[in-house]
Structure 1
């Protein structure tokens, strides 16, 4: 199962961690895992390329072997908020059809 934990304060989302493998299908054919991965990588790249957050203000870790991606921003702006919220919408849409393979939780920081 993939666990998605979103870090937020009352004002904003500041990051997330994705852990695990969905188990939906074998490696290379797992559409659930691929969907979560593309959403996660899009956030990571958009924070810099769209929101203009400098790399030194982005903390991230990726370990594809264990199914881990962690992203935290040290500085946020209106664009990072939209990017993170779009990520949550994407995960919620996946949950509508694949809730047995993904969990979503929010952690106050």
Structure 2
């Protein structure tokens, strides 16, 4: 199962994606493909507009981690859209993708 952990206060601070969905074999896994596409599309937008962020990717260990160090309104819209997209995928493929949102004060 792919696990997505979102950490937020008033804004989204960090998104961590880990694991394999197990939906299908590598190269034919539409859940993995959808999650990866959503992450990398969002990252492409963030690279252009976010003042300060950190992104780590470890394909061998099936891990992606996006940390927002300094945000702005457009970055937050991109991140909210990413989370909504991942939640949409999870609603259709709940056995293969779990999204957890942790609100900090």
TM-score by length of 2: 0.93
What are the within-5 Å matches in structure 2 for residues 42-57 of structure 1? 42-49=41-48, 52-54=49-51, 57=52
What are the within-5 Å matches in structure 2 for residues 14-53 of structure 1? 14-49=13-48, 52-53=49-50
CA contact (8 A) 1:2 1:18 kept: yes
Q: Give the structure with the larger strand fraction.
A: 2
Structure 2, unaligned stretches of length 5 or more? none
TM-score by length of 1: 0.89
For residue 98 of structure 1, the aligned residue among 89, 93, 99 is 93
CA contact (8 A) 2:7 2:15 kept: yes
RMSD: 1.1
Structure 1, unaligned stretches of length 5 or more? none
| Deviant stretches of 4+, over 3 Å | none
